[in-house]
Chain A
């Protein structure tokens, strides 16, 4: 066990944890931030997507000892950013959700995409989002919601 001081959603948090403990479980079980979800534990589904210094990161394989001074942003705070709020609003306007379990991760991945690429193409969306699985299959709506948030034509322009 060791003591770690990490910046989560703009707040400084001090936690006692095993160095190997993944950030996901520090967030969920030690800080009570359960919006970030456990899906696979091996960075294979994207349900645990958070931002470290704005970059998409799978919290389930990110050991707490490696976080250091990087700023951790989770779904609980993404709505405080303009892009994050736009993505959340688009998600509701399109009503993307079925079970909703993957959607926190989807919102985080989509927000990171729009932060670096404000008008993504279908290929850009495919590349940025393929690490986030939706077991319910809401991909059509995720694509539409990302384009809605970006303010671009929502038509799927991939080959038919």
Chain B
């Protein structure tokens, strides 16, 4: 041991302090369950605490060789807490069995572009944004360890290589463990990472290997790792009742009666702060604080509140549907995109096809109900334990909401990003976090844990907006698609200037395929008033519009007497029309995944399927991922239906980083998409009608299909998988129902269709 003088943490601290610049002592760490070998199920004896040297803000190494890697982004089940450290560890050439992963707090120090940008779980951005930076951080750290070894041996850096967690000088047959070099390495100036050579992918030891999720052993043991499991000394429990009509205000209430109930600590009115155009923030309500959560919730049965329900109290789904039908007959309010002359082309078409597609509002409903633990302290600081997808970034980030509601500056707020029991976009909004902080403050600066009921979750969601598409298509005498138009009807509210602004996630991109492929194309929009909060649901916009577009393309294929899969390839082969501009989707990549899914699914043999069983195909490009899927659906004579199998082929670039997670995301997206075909959120009297999983059903084990998930590896940079596998599932299944029954699903949920056959 060259650094045999590192004996105790005290001694080490002095040494580290003397070194100055970047060398810090940052506590202890405990290596835990590794991904190889048998899982550790019983608590193992803790190893002696070892001092840790931070080589940079992401990597710390202890003299005994444990490597701590910080996972910077929120973990919501997408596996990012394991995947980002895998990228660092690969280029660091770390021994993965010696790696411990530590979840970062929300902190601007992790958000530089050279670190992959902001801390957010959204948009499937993490993979493309971190693929370069995280590997560079690993490579830079490895280089510092090599430099330290080179200096010690007095040999040129070029003569050194590494094996997992060991710097090797082959010529002198010297092998120095990383732990022996870390103190020297920490004194060095970090290299310019852009000059460092990355590994050849064929040499990867970690990337591309199925690595178990870091938290999995804790999950199967029931350890307290979720937001709802947080415990803070002196903590009380809170329930918060809001107006069933979004954004309604408290007029009168009986807080004194509630306060007198046994076990109740406090009860008070919380007032909305500021103008909240999205209705996602601190809204009016009544908080009940108790010694346990059930007592607080149970006391709410005695709560009496009169509300000013506001302007949207008469809104209903019935009213929206009627308005949409009225708007569909009228001229569109605006044209969003136009190529060629659709009207003339439709007039001249040998055959025209018209169809209207409707999809409902949806709720996110992650299984862990909204919750947050917060302590607004008497000294003016605020500490928050939030299962959030977006602690920062934007007006609805947790920091901004808490700053505005509590009147504190950002530097007074600490946000711990606690593992979330699912996100699906719900926790990009942080209403529950600002509620917890406000209740903590108003309860007298005591720490509280706020938990919502499932009913509150279903009824106070930033919903996936419903939408209405009114398509027309024209085929020429040779059954070529020559024209396509859409009149899209959606929801909006007047913005600050009084103009109607489309609600969050309620747009439909005018460049939606087959825009810029079909020679005459027009995309029009009308907007009606909607008073509910909306927001991104996994694969926002795509999860809705893909169903409409890829189902209508299927209708056109059938009208043209063409194989729906071959017809899609035919469209993708069309030349760029005059006046069109293709961006985004690479048609060649899409054609490949369509062809491959056709082969894997036995698409060509589908004519041999029995009556009542059918196969459907769809594809979609979103979040930089290319997915084509075939669904096989069986519809019983009584009209009940189930998806037997889904074949999925995805192109997300050159590297599947963690196959365990990657396939899990695809499998989950498929189940999620089929679930969405059973669900709806409706409104009446300005309120959400649905309440819990019995009227907002989740797909269960017995209806979950078999899944064949395949990745087509290409030369492009890796991209994310949280979302792009979801959108094509819905139309693939709907098109399969058509193939099985001859009945076209134009409205979701599917239950609204009559599928009985004889």
Q: Which residues of A line the B interface, CB within 8 A?
A: 1, 18, 20-22, 25, 28-30, 32-42, 44-45, 47, 74-76, 79, 85, 88-89, 91-93, 95-104, 107, 125-127, 129-143, 156, 158-160
* CB within 8 Å: A-B pair count: 212
Whole-angstrom CA separation of A37 from B229 in the bound complex: 9
Q: Which residues of B contact A20 (CB under 8 A)?
A: 298
Q: Is B664 an interface residue (CB 8 A)?
A: yes
A139 and B671 form a contact (CB under 8 A): yes
Residue of B nearest to A29 (CB): B292
Q: Is B111 an interface residue (CB 8 A)?
A: no
Residue of B nearest to A75 (CB): B222
Q: How distant is B451 from chain A, measured CB to nearest CB, in Å?
A: 7
Q: Which residues of A contact B226 (CB under 8 A)?
A: 37, 100-101
Q: Is B378 an interface residue (CB 8 A)?
A: no
Whole-angstrom CA separation of A145 from B713 in the bound complex: 28
Whole-angstrom CA separation of A35 from B628 in the bound complex: 39
Of B76-84, B437-445, B480-488, B506-514, the segment with at least 4 beta carbons within 8 Å of chain A is B76-84
A47 and B367 form a contact (CB under 8 A): yes
Whole-angstrom CA separation of A139 from B210 in the bound complex: 19
Q: Mark B531-569, 1 if CB is under 8 A from A, else 0.
A: 000000000000000000000000000000000000000
Whole-angstrom CA separation of A44 from B458 in the bound complex: 14
Q: Which residues of B contact A132 (CB under 8 A)?
A: 700-701
Query: Are A142 and B41 also in contact (CB < 8 A) when A25-B294, A101-B421 are?
Result: no
Q: How distant is B559 from chain A, measured CB to nearest CB, in Å?
A: 30
Choose from B219, B229, B420, B701 the contact partner of A143 (Cβ within 8 Å).
Answer: B701
Q: Which residues of B contact A32 (CB under 8 A)?
A: 231
Query: Are A99 and B644 also in contact (CB < 8 A) when A38-B369, A133-B700 are?
Result: no
Q: Which residues of B contact A47 (CB under 8 A)?
A: 367
Q: How distant is A3 from chain B, measured CB to nearest CB, in Å?
A: 14
Whole-angstrom CA separation of A107 from B453 in the bound complex: 24
A140 and B707 form a contact (CB under 8 A): yes
Whole-angstrom CA separation of A35 from B365 in the bound complex: 20
Apart from A40-B454, A127-B702, A137-B671, 18 more pairs, CB < 8 Å = A21-B292, A34-B229, A38-B228, A44-B692, A44-B694, A88-B221, A97-B219, A100-B77, A100-B421, A101-B226, A104-B220, A104-B222, A135-B366, A136-B422, A136-B671, A142-B701, A158-B644, A158-B706
Query: Are A34 and B224 also in contact (CB < 8 A) when A45-B693, A141-B664, A159-B634 are?
Result: yes
Choose from B215, B692, B694, B704 the contact partner of A100 (Cβ within 8 Å).
Answer: B215
Whole-angstrom CA separation of A98 from B217 in the bound complex: 12
Q: Which residues of B contact A95 (CB under 8 A)?
A: 210, 212-213, 216, 660, 664
**What are 17 A-B residue pairs whose CB atoms fall within 8 Å in the complex?**
A33-B222, A34-B222, A34-B229, A35-B221, A35-B222, A93-B39, A97-B213, A99-B419, A102-B421, A127-B702, A133-B700, A135-B424, A137-B668, A140-B706, A141-B664, A158-B644, A160-B644
A136 and B454 form a contact (CB under 8 A): no
Whole-angstrom CA separation of A127 from B226 in the bound complex: 29
B220 and A103 form a contact (CB under 8 A): yes
B704 and A76 form a contact (CB under 8 A): no
Q: How distant is A84 from chain B, measured CB to nearest CB, in Å?
A: 9
Q: Mark B182-225, 1 if CB is under 8 A from A, else 0.
A: 00000000000000000000000000001011011101111110
Residue of B nearest to A88 (CB): B220
Residue of A nearest to B217 (CB): A92
Whole-angstrom CA separation of A93 from B217 in the bound complex: 10
A39 and B660 form a contact (CB under 8 A): no
Q: Which residues of B contact A156 (CB under 8 A)?
A: 706
B221 and A130 form a contact (CB under 8 A): no
